[in-house]
Structure formats: structure tokens, C-alpha cells
Structure 1
Amino acid sequence: MSEDRAFYPPVDPVQAGLKGRCPRCGEGRLFKGFLAVGDSCSNCGLDYGFADAGDGPAAFVILIIGFIVVGLALWMEVTYGPPLWLQFVLWTPLTLVLSLTALRLIKGVLLTLQYANKAREGRLDGPQ
């Protein structure tokens, strides 16, 4: 990521990420599809080449949504004891909807935080 010399008012990275907006100007779109990151900001021209969240969003989604859904399923099993088919019908759609929604939100937040903190790929220093 090259040094950013343009002046833009500070943008809250969490808020910009949740809205799917550019981490520099807070106006342009971050995503060109549901989860695909765009090439650059349509407003300020920031190149999104630096943006690589890797598997981070998926790991957070698995931990957060898994905790919620498994906890609710266990509570329902202990409290009401519904048949297995009902558990499947209830929790499968809920898991899919929550996971897809959370994946986009968390990916946006991680990418904007990556820009705000000037995070870069790790490098090993050679012998000096």
C-alpha cells in the first residue's frame, strides 16, 4: 500500500465497514458484489489492492454465529425437547441468514480497520 498523501476528514473505520463504504472518504462503495471487494473507490479513487482479509471474517462468523445458534438449539432442546426435524427446520435457515449477513459486515470492518491501522503483509527482515 503506497503512502496516502490526500487529505480527507477522519472516517470511523467500524462505521464505514458496517456500511460497506470506502475506508478513506467514507462515501464510495467498498464492495462490487455481495462479498467481492471493488477495484477502487468511485468517489476518491483509493485503490483497494491492499484489501485482503483472508480467512479472518469466516473465522469470526463461525465463532460468533456458532455460539449463538448452538446455544439456542441446546436451550430449546433442554427446555422443550422438540423433534429433530423441527430443530433442523428452525436452525438451518437461521444459520444461513445470520452467517451471510455477518460475513459481509465483518469483512467490511476488517478491511476498513486494515486501512486505518496501515496493516501490511508480514515481512521477514533479511540479514543486515
Structure 2
Amino acid sequence: MPRHLGPSDPTERPTGQAMLRGAMGRCPACGEGKLFRSFLKVADHCPACGEALHHQRADDGPAYLTILLVSHLGAPLLLACYVAWRPSAMTMVWTFGLGAVILSLLLLPRIKGAFVGLQWARRMHGFGAEPATPA
């Protein structure tokens, strides 16, 4: 049965700090090592502190949240631009299509890093396992 980690527990992992470090592409444990070894591929271990990062299971969450944010930012902006300037359909397709792609490429690794940081801080999916001590 997992042990409850209260606010006075010295092993508590601050969620906000871990998510911010992850969003910046850094290890949620130390904040020094790189979280990603390529665009969206999480490193197996932190190169700075050795923290195991292979436990992460971000799966479709970051992509779903990215789509949600980009569409909720883009739709009102698209409507406002259309009402204000009445650009041609092709102008709207090109500008908002390109904007959606660029915004998605910028947001996706940051959101995935924040998801990994959340999982690490909350000890989800194997991040809470204590290292085995030699006998």
C-alpha cells in the first residue's frame, strides 16, 4: 500500500516546479539535464542526475491538450480577423493554417514536458518506486 506523502515529508516533490522544469525541457528532478533526446522523445535517464525518465506515459494527453489550446485560441482570432478585415478565403487558410502548425509545434514539447513533470512529481507510472538497495 503506498504511503501518504504529506507537506512535512522530506521526500515530497513540488508539482509546480516539476511541471515548469518539464515545460522548459529540463529534468523534473534536478532541472539541469535535458528531458528530450529529440523533438518529442523523452530521454531514458537524465544526463545530469541520472533520474530514470523512461517511466513516463504521456501518450495522447499532450497532443489532445495542444489541439484544444490551438483551436480555442485560433477560432476567436479567426472570427475577429474575418469581421474586421474580410480577407479572402485563401488568405485565411494560409495564415491560420500556418499559424496553427507553428503554434502546435511550439506548444507540444512544452506540454509534454509538463505532463512528464506532473507524473514525476505525483509518482505516477513507476516514478515513485524506490531504488533497490543492495543486500
Would the alpha carbon gap of residues 60 and 10 (structure 1) be closer, same or farther in structure 2, given more than 3 Å must change? closer
**Identity over aligned residues, as a percent?**
35
TM-score (norm 1): 0.82
State the alpha-carbon separation in 1 of the partners of residues 39 and 87 from structure 2. 35
2:120 counterpart of 1:115: yes
Q: Count residues in correspondence.
A: 114
Corresponding position of 1:3: none
Give the one of 25, 35, 39 matched to 1:34.
39
Corresponding position of 2:27: 22
2:72 counterpart of 1:67: yes
SS in 1 for 2:87: coil
Write the deviation string for residues 57-102 of structure 1: whole angstroms up to 9, x where unpaired.
0111111111111111111112221110110121111111100110
Corresponding position of 2:18: 13
Corresponding position of 1:102: 107
4+ aligned runs moved over 6 Å, structure 1: none
Residue 14 of structure 1 deviates from its aligned partner by 2.4
**RMSD value, Cα:** 1.9
